[in-house]
Amino acid sequence: MTKTNSGNFFEDFRIGQEIRHATPRTVTEGDMALYTALYGSRFAFNSSAEFARDCGMPGQPLDDLAAFHVVFGKTVPDVSLNAVANLGYAGGSFGAPVYAGDTITTTSQVIGLKENSNKQTGVVYVRSTGVNQKGEMVVDYIRWVMVKKRDVNAAAPAELVPDLPDAVAASDLIIPPGLNTGKYDDVLAGSPHRWDDYAVGEKIDHVDGMTIEEAEHMMATRLWQNTAKVHFNQHTEGQGRFGRRLIYGGHIISLARALSFNGLGNAFKIAAINGGRHVNPTFAGDTIYAWSEVLEKFEIPGRSTLGALRLRLVALKNRSGADFTLKLEDGKSFDPAVVLDFDYTVLMPRR
Amino acid sequence: MTKTNSGNFFEDFRIGQEIRHATPRTVTEGDMALYTALYGSRFAFNSSAEFARDCGMPGQPLDDLAAFHVVFGKTVPDVSLNAVANLGYAGGSFGAPVYAGDTITTTSQVIGLKENSNKQTGVVYVRSTGVNQKGEMVVDYIRWVMVKKRDVNAAAPAELVPDLPDAVAASDLIIPPGLNTGKYDDVLAGSPHRWDDYAVGEKIDHVDGMTIEEAEHMMATRLWQNTAKVHFNQHTEGQGRFGRRLIYGGHIISLARALSFNGLGNAFKIAAINGGRHVNPTFAGDTIYAWSEVLEKFEIPGRSTLGALRLRLVALKNRSGADFTLKLEDGKSFDPAVVLDFDYTVLMPRR
Amino acid sequence: MTKTNSGNFFEDFRIGQEIRHATPRTVTEGDMALYTALYGSRFAFNSSAEFARDCGMPGQPLDDLAAFHVVFGKTVPDVSLNAVANLGYAGGSFGAPVYAGDTITTTSQVIGLKENSNKQTGVVYVRSTGVNQKGEMVVDYIRWVMVKKRDVNAAAPAELVPDLPDAVAASDLIIPPGLNTGKYDDVLAGSPHRWDDYAVGEKIDHVDGMTIEEAEHMMATRLWQNTAKVHFNQHTEGQGRFGRRLIYGGHIISLARALSFNGLGNAFKIAAINGGRHVNPTFAGDTIYAWSEVLEKFEIPGRSTLGALRLRLVALKNRSGADFTLKLEDGKSFDPAVVLDFDYTVLMPRR
Confidence of residue C1 (pLDDT cuts 50, 70, 90): low
Residue C70 clears pLDDT 90, i.e. is over it: yes
pLDDT at A89: 97
Interface TM-score (ipTM) > 0.85? yes
Decide if B190 touches A, using CB distance below 8 A. Answer: no
Please check whether residue B25 touches A, CB under 8 A.
Answer: yes
pLDDT at position A163 is 96
Average pLDDT score over chain B: 97
Q: Spell out the domains of chain A, with CATH numbers in brackets.
A: 1-27+62-163 (3.10.129.10), 166-351 (3.10.129.10)
Please give the pLDDT value at position C193.
98
Residue A299, strand partner residues: A307
Reduced to 3 states (helix: H, G, I; strand: E, B; else coil), residue B75 is helix
d(CA A9, CA B102): 49
Residue A5: strand, helix, or coil = coil
A223 shares contact with chain C (CB less than 8 Å): yes
Contacts of B287 in chain C (CB under 8 A): 233-236
Q: Subunits with at least 3 CB pairs below 8 A relative to chain A?
A: B, C
| Residue B254, φ and ψ in degrees, nearest 5 | -65, -40
Beta carbons of A234 and C213 less than 8 Å apart: no
Distance from CA of B161 to the nearest CA of C (A): 41
- Find the CB nearest B222 among A40, A198, A285: A40
Percent of chain B with pLDDT over 70: 100
Task: Tell if the CB–CB gap between C32 and A28 is shorter than 8 Å.
Answer: yes
Nearest to A20 among C187, C208, C264 (CB): C187
Q: Considering only CA atoms, which of A277, A260, A280 is closest in space to residue A268?
A: A260
Query: What pLDDT digit, counting tens, does each position of B15-61 carry?
Result: 999 999 999 999 999 999 999 999 999 999 999 999 999 999 999 99
Predicted confidence at residue A122, as pLDDT, reads 97
- In what helix (H) or strand (E) does residue B46 lie, and over which residues does it extend? helix B44-47
Name the DSSP letter for residue B65. H
Confidence of residue B103 (pLDDT cuts 50, 70, 90): very high
The distance from CA A264 to its chain's CA centroid, rounded to whole angstroms, is 17
Cα distance from B31 to chain C (closest Cα, Å)?
A: 7
Q: Which residues contact C198 (CB under 8 A, 6 or more apart)?
A: A3, C294, C297, C309, C348
State which residue of chain B sits closest to A213, comparing Cα positions: B215
Give the angle A94-A100-A105 at the CA atoms, nearest 5°: 55
pLDDT band at B292 (very low <50, low <70, confident <90, very high): very high
Q: For residue A210, which residues of chain B lie inside 8 Å, CB to CB?
A: 232-233
Nearest to C23 by CA among B28, B180, B52, B27: B52
pLDDT digits (tens, 9 = 90+) for A250-274: 999 999 999 999 999 999 999 999 9
Give the model confidence (pLDDT) of A32-60 as tens digits: 999 999 999 999 999 999 999 999 999 99
pLDDT of residue B343: 98
pLDDT at residue number A1: 59
Provide, as residue numbers in chain C, all residues whose Cβ is less than 8 Å from the Cβ of A235.
209, 211, 287, 318
Selected residue of A6, A20, A25 to mutate for chain C interface (largest C Cβ count, 10 A): A25
- Phi and psi for C4 in degrees, rounded to 5? -90, 155
Interface of A with B in 82-111 (CB under 8 A): 100
C113, pLDDT greater than 90: yes
| Average pLDDT for C197-203 | 98
Q: Work out the angle at residue C347's Cα, subtended by the Cα atoms of residues C342 and C350, and round it to the nearest 5 degrees.
A: 135
Answer yes or no: do C235 and B189 touch at CB < 8 A: no
Do the chains contact at B285 and C234, CB–CB below 8 Å?
yes
Q: Among partner residues A26, A216, A222, which is closest to C40 by beta-carbon distance?
A: A222
A3 touches chain C (CB under 8 A): yes
DSSP letter at B160 equals: B
Chain A touched by C211 (CB under 8 Å): yes
Q: Could you write out the DSSP letters of every residue in C294-343?
A: EEEEEEETTEEEEEEEEEEEEEEESS-GGG---B-TTSSSBPTTEEEEEE
Distance of alpha carbon C20 from its chain centroid, rounded? 20
Residues of chain C neighbouring B255 (CB-CB closer than 8 A): none
Count CA within 13 A, CB hemisphere, residue A177. 2
Any B CB within 8 A of C134 CB? no
Portion of chain B with pLDDT greater than 90, in percent? 98
Nearest to B263 among C3, C31, C223 (CB): C3
Residue B225 to residue A187, Cβ atoms within 8 A = no
Coil, helix or strand at residue B283 = coil
At A263 the three-state DSSP class reads coil
Mean pLDDT of C196-206: 98
C-alpha distances in Å from residue C62, one per residue of A210, B194, C36, C101, C313: 33, 35, 10, 10, 21
Looking at the DSSP assignment, which residues form a beta bridge with residue B108?
A: B19, B128
Selected residue of B225, B236, B237, B254 to mutate for chain A interface (largest A Cβ count, 10 A): B225
Q: What is the pLDDT of residues B176-207, one digit of tens each?
A: 999 999 999 999 999 999 999 999 999 999 99
pLDDT at B235 over 70: yes
**What's the pLDDT band for C74 if we cut at 50, 70, 90?**
very high
A24/C287 CB distance under 8 A: no
Q: Do C213 and B216 touch (CB under 8 A)?
A: no
Tell me the three state secondary structure of residue C264.
coil
pLDDT at res. B56: 98
The per-residue pLDDT for B1 is: 59
**Calpha distance C104→C101 (Å, rounded):** 10
Q: Taking CA atoms, what residue in A is nearest to B100?
A: A29
pLDDT in tens, C31-45: 999 999 999 999 999
Residue B259's Cβ-side half-sphere holds a number of Cα atoms within 13 Å equal to 29
Q: Which residues of chain A have pLDDT under 70?
A: 1
Chains that touch C (3 or more CB pairs under 8 A): A, B
Query: Which residues of chain C form beta strands (DSSP E)?
Result: 18-20, 25-26, 83-94, 103-115, 121-131, 137-148, 203-205, 210-211, 269-278, 287-300, 303-317, 338-349
**What does the mean pLDDT of chain C come to?**
97
A262 touches B: beta carbon within 8 Å: yes
Q: Quick one: DSSP state of residue C100?
A: T
Instruction: Tell me the shortest Cα–Cα distance from A301 to chain C, in angstroms.
Output: 36
Interface test with C, best of B32, B41, B47, B291 (most C CBs within 10 A): B47
